[in-house]
Structure 1
Amino acid sequence: MKVFYLCRTGHHTSLIAAALRLGRLPADPGSAGEIYNIPGFDDMDFKDVGKPYYVGTDSSNVEIYTIGVMRNHAMMARAANDLIGLMGVKYGEWLVIDASRSVSKWTIAGLIFKKLRLRTLARTFIYFGARREYDRLAAIYH
């Protein structure tokens, strides 16, 4: 089985959801260090949006990926699910989860600062966004 978490970049909100699923983060909001130390967190270039990023394999042998889809999350989730069906993948073997529904305004502001190359400010806003999103992400990772 494969699970794909979608968010704007594939390296923020969806990566936190994937890390929760893999047990790399506690169920309660992690510290800034715990979040920043997730392999791949905030380690992307906007040109990499749309490319699947392998995060790991969980204890049930499910492969976990993230994909950045920018603002097109609802359309991409539908398109991905339709493509999965067209490829003949059995229902339930691949799962697409739209983590972008949990994105906060803090995270969006952080991404704007990132695009402006204000990295320290961007990471601060992205971290506060992650703290606001944490409970919703913990609920969807199952």
Structure 2
Amino acid sequence: MKIIYHCFGGSHSSVVAAAIHLGLVGKDRPPTLEELMALPYFDKTTNADFGSIRFMGVDKNENEVYVLGKKSLGDRYSHIIMGVAGILGYQDEVMAINCINSVNWIMKIGGFMSRRAGIISLGRPIVGWGTQDAYLDLVRLVEITKLKITGIGTAK
């Protein structure tokens, strides 16, 4: 299975969800800002990264995990990816997970300041704090995703 976590910028919620999925951060407590900054891609995307599906790793069940920033496409991105996967005959091997519902206003402000306005020294701690506040929501999203992968709780 190929799992693509996506969000507006591909720099915060999708990266953290993918990291949770891969076990790069624990589920028991929010990571520190230093732990967040050690994650691949966290608060590091540029305009050139938008629309690029970036590999994060392989989970213990050999599922490939990716992240993507898709700007304002919202759930339309999931529909596009699943449509292309269906055309190619791989619909049962791809999952597109929208992380935007786990993003809080603190993350939005910090992400805007850091990534778009370029005020990294102020925006990064704010987006880190917002990510820590949203962390349990991201853990839940990943747990639901893992259940869907195994077919538990889904209609087949």
TM-score, normalising length: structure 2: 0.85
Structure with more contact order per residue of length (Cα contacts < 8 Å, sep ≥ 6)? 1
**Structure 1 position 119 matched with structure 2 position 120:** yes
Partner of 2:97: 97
Partner of 2:77: 76
| Segment drifting more, 47-56 vs 109-118 | 109-118
Q: Distance in 2 between matches of 1:109 and 1:90?
A: 35
Secondary structure in structure 1 of the residue aligned to 2:42: coil
1:31 Cα deviation after fit: 1.1
Q: Distance in 2 between matches of 1:103 and 1:86?
A: 31
Secondary structure in structure 2 of the residue aligned to 1:11: coil
Q: Distance in 2 between matches of 1:74 and 1:4?
A: 13
RMSD: 1.2
Partner of 1:19: 19
Partner of 1:8: 8
Counterpart amino acid of 2:20?
L
1:90 Cα deviation after fit: 4.2
Q: What does the per-residue CA deviation read over 1:20-52, in whole Å, with 9 as the maximum and x for residues that have no partner?
A: 011111112111111111122112102311100
Secondary structure in structure 2 of the residue aligned to 1:66: strand
Runs of 4+ in 1 over 6 A off after TM superposition: none
Partner of 1:39: 40
Q: Distance in 2 between matches of 1:46 and 1:105?
A: 21
Q: Equivalent pairs: percent with the same residue?
A: 26
Q: Which has the higher helix share?
A: 2
- Mark the CA change 1:90 to 1:112 in structure 2 (over 3 Å): closer, same or farther: closer
TM-score, normalising length: structure 1: 0.93
Secondary structure in structure 2 of the residue aligned to 1:67: strand
Unaligned runs of 5+ in 2: 147-156
